[in-house]
Amino acid sequence: MIKVNSGLIDKIKISEDFNASACFNCGTCSALCPVGFDILPRKLFRYVLLGEEEKILESTDQIFSCLLCRMCEEQCPHDVNITENIRLIRNYLAKSKLGV
């Protein structure tokens, strides 16, 4: 069973730049990603929007292996702030889960 944390999005969305909900799941972003990100930005954003905290925690290594290189953003047709969204998810993980 998926455990959902409905308050998660509010904890992550500490800045107006967080716009994961603008993502419409087309997958264009992953075409040229140099890391070959397994959970792809779009899947990660769904986890956040749905409050699936455990899935996010399981993906810590992948979330921190993104290069923030913006290749994905260059391709995204919906102007999703992919790298800033990922950075803010990192901020949440670092503060709330990793004891930094």
Partner 1 sequence: MSKVGAVLGILNDNFEKRKTVFSVPEKSLVSWAKDLNIKKGTETIIYTGHMYQLMPITKSATNLYENLEESTLMKLAPVGRIVNKFIDLSSMSKFAAKPDKSEEERSNRCLQNIYKLLKYAGVEAGYLYEDELYVGTLLYDNGIDEPLINQAKILNKILKENNVKNIITVDPHTTHMLRKVYKKILPEFDYEVKNYIEVLYEKKIKPQNKLDMIVAIHDSCVLARYEEVIEEPRALLKNAGINYVEPELSRKLTHCCGGPIESLFPKKAKEIASKRANDLLTCSNVVTTMCPICLLNLKESTPLKDSFLDLSEILAKAYL
Q: Out of 21, 24, 70, 78, which residue is the one contacting partner 1 (CB under 8 A)?
A: 70
Neighbouring C-beta atoms of residue 97, cutoff 10 Å? 12
Which amino acid is residue 83, in one-letter code? Answer: T
Binding partner selected for residue 76 from partner 1, ligand SF4, none, CB under the kind-specific 5 to 8 Å limit: ligand SF4
- Is 65 a binder of partner 1 (CB under 8 A)? yes
Distance separating alpha carbons of residues 5 and 25, to the nearest angstrom? 22
Q: Out of 19, 39, 49, 60, which residue is the one contacting partner 1 (CB under 8 A)?
A: 60
DSSP secondary structure string for all residues of 61-83 = HHHHH-----HHHHH-TT---HH
The binding site for ligand SF4 (CB under 6 A) comprises 23-29, 33-35, 37, 41-42, 66-72, 75-76, 78, 80, 82-83
Question: Smallest distance, Å, CB 1 to ligand SF4?
Answer: 27
Determine whether 39 is exposed, middle or buried from the number of CB atoms within 10 Å of its CB (0-12, 13-18, 19+): middle
Binding partner selected for residue 20 from ligand SF4, partner 1, none, CB under the kind-specific 5 to 8 Å limit: none
Distance separating alpha carbons of residues 8 and 10, to the nearest angstrom? 5
Binding site for partner 1 (CB under 8 A): 32, 34-35, 60-61, 64-71, 73-74, 87-94, 97-100
